[in-house]
C-alpha cells in the first residue's frame, strides 16, 4: 500500500479543505535554466500541492506541440537528470509540495532505473509518471520502485477497459492520472458526459485519489465532473502562460 | 519468451491510450491473417496486383568476375518498385477485414507512403501520410505520386522534421483516430504486434527465394545478404532461412560518410539498447537517452532505430551485421547498373556493396543471395549530386 506516500497525503489534504489539489507541470529548465527553480518555488508558494517536473525527451510521443517545443528548448540548454538532481539538492528543503517526475522511459532507462530510484529517494521525489511505460512493461520494475517508496503513477484514458483499470488499481498507486482526451497533451476536451462516466468507473475501481489532466486550461471545464476529481494537472496552459512572460502567481490565482 | 518480445528486445512501450488499438490489431493478426478467405485474397493480390512471385536472377557477369554465384531476389520488380508493397497490401487487406476505413502511414523518403497510398487506392480506403517537412521538400515527386493516388500528405514540422518525427506524428494521430483508422507502419519496428505483423507479410520474400534457390540450383544459398534500416526487407528474406543453420545471414547497415564525427545509421553495429517508438531495441542515442540524428545517402536506411528482431538475431549471433559507407554503396550502384543492367535502390546497393567488398573472403563457388529490395530510379538525383561532389 502506498497510502503513506506524501503524494496521496497532499492531495487528500487539499480535498479535505474543500478544494481540488493543484498539480502544475513544468519541463525542467523551462522557461530558461536560470529561472526554473524560481518558477517551482513560486508555484509552491502559491498553493501547488504536487509539482510535476518534466524530464525532457527528444521524442515525446504523448505530447502536443506546446510541451514538445518546451522540452526541446530545455534539451538545447543541456538539461538532464543530473542537472535536476543538483537543483533538488539545493532547493528541495524550500518546496512544500510533493514532487513527481514526468518523463518518457528511455532517459530513465539509460540513467538506470535502480540508480534513479535511489537518487529520487535521496532528492525527495516521490513518484514517476512515465507515459510510455504501461502496466506490463512496468512490471519488472515495480519491486524496486516500491522498495524506494517511489510511486508508479498510472495513466488511464477514456478507452481503458474496466479490466485494465482494475489491474492498475491492484498496484495501489499513490494516485491515478486520468487522461481527459483521446489525444495528446493540450488537446481540447470532448464530451463531458463520456468523461464523467469514465471518471465514475475510475473512482469505483481505485481507492486512491483521482487526478485529471491533458487539455485542462480553466476551472470552468470541471463544472459538470467536479465530484469525480480530486486533483487537476495543467501543463500546456501553464507553459503558454509562462511563455508569454507572465508569472506563476497570476496563473495559480485563476485556480 | 515474454509476449511481444524477441529475447530481451521488443515489447510495447506506448501510451495507455494505444493499448486498445494494438490489442485489436494483435487479435486481427492472430485470427484474420491465418484465415483461409484472407489468405486467398492476399494470394490473389500478390499475384495480380503486386506481380509476385518476383524472379530470382543469377548475375551472369558479376558472378564470373567474383568467382562465386551472386543471386538477386528481384523485389525491385514488384509494383511501385520495392518490397514495401508486400507490407502495405497485406496491412490494407487486414484493415479492410477489421472494418477500418482509413490507412495512416509515416514515410521518410516517401517509398512507404507511396506503397500505402497505392494499397489504399486499390482497396478504396482513405489514406493520410505523415512526412517530415524536410523530406516533403527533398522528395516532392513522391509527394505528388501519393497525392495522385488520393492520399493526404501532412508535413511534420516538429523535432528534426524527418522520419522519426513522422512516426511520432502518426502515433499521435492514431491515438485520436483509432476507431476508424489502421496505422500501416512501414517497417518491422514499433510496438508489438507490428514487428511480427510486418515480418509475416515480408517473409514472402524469403519463402519464394528459398523455393527458387532449391528449384533453380538444387540447394540453399550459403549466404543471404540484405540491407538494414528498420529492417523489413532483411527480416523478410532472413526469416524463412533461420532454421537452416548452414545459411549465413548478413545484414548491412549504412555507415554514412564514415568520418568519426559524421552521422550514420549503423544502429546495430554502433548503437546501444534503449526504447524508441514503442520498442526496446538498439538505438543511436546520447548517453542520456536522447535520440541522435541519423544519416545515410540511402534515404530508406536513415533511421536511428532498428527492428527488435534484428537486435535479437545479433544478440544470439544467428545473423551478423556489417557496415557499408556511402561511397561504397555508390560504387556498387554503378557496378550493378553497368555489369547487369539493373539499377539498384541506394538502400539495396549497400547489400551489393558488402558482397563486392567481401569478395576475397567469400569461398569461390559458393552461392550468395542478395535481396535487391528496390529499384534505383528514385535515387538518380542523389547519385548525380554525389558524383558531382567527387
The pLDDT tens digits for B47-74 are 999 999 999 999 999 999 999 999 999 9
CA closest to A67 among chain B residues = B158
Non-local (6+) Cβ contacts of A101 within 8 A are A52, A53, A54, A55, A84, A108, A120, A125, A127, A128, A129
Name which of A137, A143, A127 is nearest A209 in CA terms.
A127
pLDDT in tens, B96-132: 999 999 999 999 989 999 999 999 999 999 999 999 9
Between CA A59 and CA A188 the distance in angstroms is 22
Cβ contact A62–B15 (<8 Å): yes
A209 in Cβ contact with A185 (< 8 Å)? no
pLDDT in tens, B145-181: 999 999 999 999 988 888 999 999 999 999 999 999 9
Domain spans of chain B?
5-45+84-194, 51-82+203-389
Q: What pLDDT is stored for residue A115 in this prediction?
A: 98
Q: Which of B83, B277, B295, B350 is catalytic?
A: B83
Domain residue limits at A119: 6-245
B254 in Cβ contact with B324 (< 8 Å)? yes
Between CA B158 and CA A47 the distance in angstroms is 34
What is the average pLDDT score of chain B?
96
Chain B residues touching A58 at Cβ < 8 A = 159, 290-291
Cβ contact A58–B20 (<8 Å): no
**What strands, in cross-sheet order, belong to the sheet with A127-129?**
A151-152, A127-129, A98-103, A50-55, A21-27, A231-234, A210-213, A176-179, A155-156
pLDDT of A201 above 90:
yes
- Partner residue facing B274 (CB), from A110, A136, A183: A110
For B366-370, what is the mean pLDDT?
Answer: 98
pLDDT of A3 above 80:
no
Q: Which CATH number does B5-45+84-194 carry?
A: 3.40.50.1100
Residue B316, Cβ neighbours under 10 Å: how many?
A: 10
pLDDT of A2 above 60:
no
Categorize the per-residue pLDDT at B91 as very low, low, confident or very high, splitting at 50, 70 and 90: very high
A63 in Cβ contact with A54 (< 8 Å)? no
Chain A residues touching B291 at Cβ < 8 A = 58-59, 106
Non-local (6+) Cβ contacts of B241 within 8 A are B206, B210, B220, B221, B224, B247, B249
Q: Which CATH number does B51-82+203-389 carry?
A: 3.40.50.1100
pLDDT in tens, A93-137: 999 999 999 999 999 999 999 999 999 999 999 999 999 999 999
- Partner residue facing B164 (CB), from A59, A136, A158: A59
Q: What pLDDT is stored for residue A148 in this prediction?
A: 93
Evaluate the CA torsion angle A66, A72, A74, A79 in order and state its sign.
positive
Non-local (6+) Cβ contacts of A98 within 8 A are A6, A7, A9, A10, A49, A50, A51, A126, A127
For A4-24, what is the mean pLDDT?
Answer: 95
> Chain B within 8 Å of A160 (Cβ-Cβ)?
yes
| Helix H or strand E encompassing A7 | helix A6-16
Q: How many CB pairs under 8 A join A and B?
A: 106
- Partner residue facing A59 (CB), from B19, B20, B291: B291
Is the residue at A129 inside a domain?
Answer: yes
- Asked if the domains at B5-45+84-194 and B51-82+203-389 fall in one CATH topology, the answer is yes
Q: What pLDDT is stored for residue A186 in this prediction?
A: 84
- Partner residue facing B16 (CB), from A104, A109, A157: A157
Chain A closest CA to B336's CA: distance in Å? Answer: 38
Between CA B162 and CA B178 the distance in angstroms is 23
Strand-pair category, B272-276 with B152-156 = unpaired
End-to-end CA distance of chain A: 31
Between CA A37 and CA A88 the distance in angstroms is 9
Residues present in chain B in total: 390
Q: How many domains does chain A have?
A: 1
Between CA A30 and CA A41 the distance in angstroms is 13
Q: What is the DSSP letter of A50?
A: E
Cβ contact B288–A108 (<8 Å): no
- Output the domain CATH number for residue A78: 3.20.20.70
pLDDT of B375 above 60:
yes
Categorize the per-residue pLDDT at B388 as very low, low, confident or very high, splitting at 50, 70 and 90: confident
For the question of residue B83 being annotated catalytic, the response is: yes
Chain B residues touching A156 at Cβ < 8 A = 16
| Helix H or strand E encompassing A178 | strand A176-179
Residue B222, Cβ neighbours under 10 Å: how many?
A: 17
pLDDT in tens, B316-362: 999 999 999 999 999 999 999 999 999 999 999 999 999 999 999 99
Is the residue at A254 inside a domain?
Answer: no
DSSP track, B89-132: HHHHHHHHHTT--EEEEEESSSHHHHHHHHHHHHHT-EEEEEEE
pLDDT in tens, B7-32: 999 999 999 999 999 999 999 999 99
Categorize the per-residue pLDDT at B390 as very low, low, confident or very high, splitting at 50, 70 and 90: low
pLDDT of B89 above 90:
yes
Q: For A53, phi and psi rounded to 5 degrees? A: -95, 120
B122 vs A47, B47, B89, B103, CA distance in Å? Answer: 58, 14, 9, 12
B265 in Cβ contact with B305 (< 8 Å)? no
Non-local (6+) Cβ contacts of A113 within 8 A are A141, A144, A145
List the beta strands (DSSP E) in chain B. Answer: 5-6, 9-10, 56-58, 69-74, 102-107, 126-132, 152-156, 181-183, 223-227, 248-254, 272-276, 279-283, 319-324, 367-372
Query: What residues of chain A, 61 to 120, have a C-beta less than 8 Å from chain B?
Result: 61-62, 64-65, 68-69, 72, 75, 80-81, 104-111
Q: What is the DSSP letter of A62?
A: T
pLDDT of B1 above 80:
no
Residue B220, Cβ neighbours under 10 Å: how many?
A: 16
Q: ipTM of this model?
A: 0.97
Is the residue at A122 inside a domain?
Answer: yes
| Helix H or strand E encompassing B237 | helix B232-238
Strand-pair category, B181-183 with B223-227 = unpaired
Between CA B190 and CA B194 the distance in angstroms is 6
> Chain A within 8 Å of B275 (Cβ-Cβ)?
yes
Chain A residues touching B278 at Cβ < 8 A = 132
Q: Which residues of A are catalytic?
A: 52, 63
**3-state SS assignment for residue B364:** coil
The residues with which B74 forms a beta bridge, in sequence order, are B372
Amino acid at each position: 500500500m502506498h497510502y503513506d506516500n506524501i503524494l496521496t497525503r497532499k492531495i487528500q489534504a487539499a480535498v479535505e479543505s474543500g478544494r481540488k489539489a493543484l498539480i502544475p507541470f513544468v519541463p525542467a529548465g523551462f522557461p530558461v535554466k536560470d529561472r526554473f527553480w524560481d518558477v517551482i518555488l513560486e508555484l509552491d508558494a502559491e498553493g501547488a500541492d504536487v509539482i510535476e517536473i518534466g524530464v525532457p525527451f527528444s521524442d515525446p510521443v504523448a505530447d502536443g506541440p506546446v510541451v514538445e517545443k518546451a522540452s526541446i528548448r530545455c534539451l538545447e540548454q543541456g538539461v538532464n537528470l543530473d542537472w535536476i538532481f543538483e537543483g533538488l539538492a539545493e532547493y528541495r528543503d524550500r518546496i512544500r509540495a510533493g514532487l513527481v517526475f514526468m518523463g518518457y522511459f528511455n532517459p530513465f532507462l539509460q540513467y538506470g532505473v535502480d540508480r534513479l530510484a535511489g537518487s529520487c529517494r535521496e532528492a525527495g521525489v516521490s513518484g514517476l509518471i512515465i507515459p510510455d511505460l504501461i502496466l506490463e512493461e512496468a512490471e519488472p520494475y515495480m519491486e524496486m520502485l516500491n522498495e524506494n517508496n517511489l510511486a508508479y503513477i498510472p495513466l488511464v484514458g477514456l478507452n481503458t477497459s474496466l479490466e485494465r483499470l482494475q489491474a492498475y488499481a491492484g498496484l495501489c498507486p499513490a494516485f491515478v492520472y486520468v487522461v481527459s482526451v483521446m489525444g495528446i497533451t493540450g488537446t481540447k476536451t470532448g464530451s463531458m458526459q463520456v468523461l464523467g462516466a469514465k471518471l465514475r468507473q475510475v473512482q469505483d475501481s481505485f481507492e486512491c485519489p483521482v487526478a485529471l489532466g491533458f487539455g485542462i486550461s480553466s476551472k470552468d471545464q470541471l463544472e459538470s465532473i467536479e465530484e469525480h476529481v480530486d486533483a487537476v494537472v495543467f501543463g500546456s496552459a501553464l507553459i503558454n502562460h509562462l511563455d508569454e512572460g507572465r508569472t506563476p502567481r497570476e496563473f495559480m490565482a485563476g485556480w | 519468451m515474454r509476449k511481444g518480445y524477441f529475447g530481451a528486445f521488443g515489447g510495447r512501450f506506448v501510451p495507455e491510450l494505444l493499448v486498445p488499438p494494438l490489442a485489436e490489431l494483435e487479435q486481427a493478426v492472430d485470427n484474420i491473417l491465418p484465415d483461409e478467405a484472407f489468405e486467398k485474397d492476399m494470394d490473389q493480390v500478390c499475384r495480380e496486383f503486386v506481380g509476385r512471385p518476383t524472379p530470382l536472377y543469377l548475375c551472369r557477369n558479376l558472378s564470373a568476375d567474383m568467382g562465386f554465384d551472386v543471386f538477386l531476389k528481384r523485389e525491385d520488380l514488384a509494383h511501385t518498385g520495392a518490397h514495401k508493397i508486400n507490407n502495405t497490401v497485406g496491412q490494407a487487406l487486414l484493415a479492410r477485414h477489421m472494418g477500418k476505413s482509413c490507412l495512416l502511414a509515416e514515410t521518410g523518403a516517401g517509398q512507404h507512403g507511396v506503397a500505402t497510398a497505392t494499397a489504399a487506392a486499390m482497396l478504396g480506403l482513405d489514406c493520410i501520410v505523415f512526412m517530415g517537412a524536410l523530406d516533403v521538400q527533398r522528395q516532392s515527386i513522391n509527394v505528388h505520386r501519393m497525392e495522385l493516388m488520393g492520399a493526404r500528405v501532412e508535413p511534420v514540422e516538429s523535432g528534426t522534421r524527418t522520419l522519426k518525427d513522422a512516426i511520432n506524428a502518426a502515433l499521435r494521430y492514431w491515438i485520436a483516430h483509432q476507431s476508424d483508422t489502421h496505422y500501416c507502419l512501414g517497417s518491422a519496428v514499433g510496438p508489438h504486434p507490428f514487428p511480427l505483423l510486418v515480418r509475416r507479410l515480408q517473409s514472402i520474400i524469403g519463402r519464394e527465394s528459398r523455393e527458387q534457390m532449391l528449384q533453380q540450383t538444387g540447394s540453399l544459398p550459403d549466404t543471404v545478404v540484405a540491407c538494414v534500416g528498420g529492417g523489413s526487407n532483411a527480416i523478410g528474406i532472413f526469416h524463412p532461412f533461420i532454421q537452416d543453420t548452414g545459411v549465413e545471414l548478413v545484414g548491412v547497415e549504412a555507415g554514412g560518410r564514415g568520418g568519426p564525427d559524421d552521422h550514420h545509421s549503423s544502429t546495430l553495429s554502433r548503437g546501444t539498447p534503449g526504447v524508441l517508438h514503442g520498442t526496446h531495441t538498439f538505438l543511436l542515442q546520447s548517453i542520456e537517452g536522447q535520440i541522435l540524428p541519423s544519416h545515410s545517402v540511402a534515404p530508406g536506411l536513415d533511421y536511428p532505430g532498428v527492428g527488435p528482431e534484428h537486435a535479437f538475431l545479433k544478440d544470439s549471433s544467428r545473423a551478423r551485421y556489417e557496415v557499408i559507407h556511402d561511397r561504397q554503396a555508390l560504387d556498387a550502384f554503378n557496378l550493378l547498373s553497368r555489369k547487369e543492367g539493373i539499377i539498384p535502390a541506394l538502400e539495396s546497393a549497400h547489400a551489393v556493396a558488402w558482397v563486392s567488398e567481401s569478395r576475397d573472403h567469400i569461398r569461390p563457388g559458393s552461392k550468395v543471395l542478395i535481396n535487391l529490395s528496390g529499384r534505383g530510379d528514385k535515387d538518380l538525383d542523389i547519385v548525380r549530386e554525389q558524383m558531382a561532389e567527387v
